[in-house]
Structure 1
C-alpha cells in the first residue's frame, strides 16, 4: 500500500511539472495581447478555433473569455454576469418565465463583439437563449 501511495504521488508530481502543450501552441502576440488587457487574470483554458484563439480566464473580479484574431485584436469578449446586470432585465425575465416556465437560468454571459454589438446569452437546460442589448429575444441555440 505504501508503495502504491508513493507511485501515485510521483505521478501527480510529474504531471504538475509537465507544461501545458495547448498553451505552448498559442502565438506569442496573442498571449501578449491577453496579458495587456488582463494582467492579473489566470487563464483557465486556451481554445484554438482557427483562425481565432479564445482565452478563458478568471480573476478576483470576473470570469470570462476573450477571443483574438491572428493579429492579436479582440474580436469578442464574454463576461459572466448576474441577472441584475441585464439590460431590460424585466422584459428578459418575463420572456423566459412565459416561454420556459419550469426553467431556471443557469448562467448569463454578456457578449461584446469587435464592432461594439452587445448580446446576452442565457443558459437554461440544454439551450442558450440569445437577447439583444435592448432585451429583445433573438434566437435559441442548442447547447
Structure 2
C-alpha cells in the first residue's frame, strides 16, 4: 500500500513538473508588421506581444524602454517612451495621491498616430492616463 501511494505521488510530481515547463508558443507576428518595424527601427530586436488583435514591439533604444503598437496590417497606432516620473505633468502626482492610486512606479509618454499625446502613470493595479495638462483621462486595469 505504501509503495503504491509513493509511486502515485512520484508520478503526479513528475507530470506537474512536465506541464509547468511547457514552453509558450512563439507569437506569430504578421509579415507586414515585422517589415514596418524593421523599416523604422533597423537592426533593433523587439520583444513582441499581442494586444487585442494588435502587435506591440517592446525594445530599448538610446537607453530608454520604448514600444510601438501596430495594427495587424502594419500601421503604427502609437509610440510609447519611458520617461522619468518627475517629467509627468505636475497635476498627475496630485491626482494619484487624492484618489489613493498608490505610488507611481513608472511613467511613459504615449504619442498616438493622430499626434495626440498622453502620459501614463503605472500604479498599483494598472495604468492611469492623463492629457498633456495633467487632466485624468482613464484608468486601464492590468
User: What is the TM-score with the length of structure 1 in the denominator?
Assistant: 0.70
Matched, 1:112 2:115: no
Farther off after superposition, 37-46 or 105-114:
37-46
Structural mapping, 1:11-26, within 5 Å: 21-22=26-27, 25-26=28-29
CA distance in 2, matches of 1:113, 1:28: 22
1:90 Cα deviation from its structure 2 partner: 1.9
Q: Which has the larger radius of gyration?
A: 2
CA distance in 1, matches of 2:38, 2:68: 11
Partner of 1:120, secondary structure, is strand
**For the Cα contact (< 8 Å) 1:106–1:123, is it kept in 2?**
yes
Partner of 1:131: 130
Partner of 1:94, secondary structure, is helix
Listed as ranges, the gaps of 5+ residues in structure 2 are: 1-24
Following TM superposition, the consecutive aligned residue runs of length 4 or more in structure 1 with deviations greater than 4 angstroms are none
Partner of 2:93: 93
Partner of 2:90, secondary structure, is helix
Equivalent residue pairs, number: 118
Partner of 1:31: 34
**For the Cα contact (< 8 Å) 2:76–2:113, is it kept in 1?**
yes
1:116 Cα deviation from its structure 2 partner: 1.0
**For the Cα contact (< 8 Å) 2:48–2:55, is it kept in 1?**
no
CA distance in 1, matches of 2:141, 2:29: 29
